[in-house]
């Protein structure tokens, strides 16, 4: 079979090379972990923007997951994962 051969390690490397999404809310928590306790003072606009971004991102992820559950499987006849044989 003259197809594409890849290993689980290749797949792991491919997926780990994807840059994480930078969300304002997550950045704020990383920079100021005490935000969770409510002791930090942030401008209201910044907090609204960060929360809105997180809620929007969560909604987009849920929508993408719903779409993925409705996809028809496509057999990859020219690809093989080496750990599972040729």
Minimal CA–CA distance to 25: which of 13, 33, 15? 33
* Residue 43 reports pLDDT greater than 50: yes
Query: Could you tell me the two tokens for 32?
Result: 């100021």
CB 28: neighbour CB atoms within 10 A?
Answer: 17
Total of domains in the chain: 1
Q: Would residue 77 count as lying in a domain?
A: no
Q: Would residue 8 count as lying in a domain?
A: no
31 against 35, higher pLDDT: 31
Q: How does pLDDT run across 1-31, given as a tens digit for each residue?
A: 456 777 788 888 988 999 988 999 888 888 8
Q: Would residue 30 count as lying in a domain?
A: yes
Which of 41-45, 48-52, 79-83 is the most confident on average?
Answer: 48-52
**What is the model's pLDDT at position 56?**
96
Q: Would residue 41 count as lying in a domain?
A: yes
Domain that residue 61 falls in: 22-71
**What is the model's pLDDT at position 29?**
82
Q: Would residue 45 count as lying in a domain?
A: yes
Q: How does pLDDT run across 47-79, given as a tens digit for each residue?
A: 899 999 999 999 999 999 999 999 888 777 777
């Amino acid at each position: 079979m003259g197809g594409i051969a890849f290993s689980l390690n290749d797949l792991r490397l491919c997926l780990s090379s994807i840059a994480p999404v930078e969300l304002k809310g997550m950045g704020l928590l990383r920079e100021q972990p005490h935000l969770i306790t409510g002791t930090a003072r942030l401008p209201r606009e910044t907090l609204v923007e960060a929360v809105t971004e997180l809620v929007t991102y969560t909604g987009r992820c849920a929508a993408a997951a719903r779409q993925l559950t409705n996809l028809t499987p496509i057999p990859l006849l020219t690809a093989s994962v080496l750990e599972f044989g040729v």
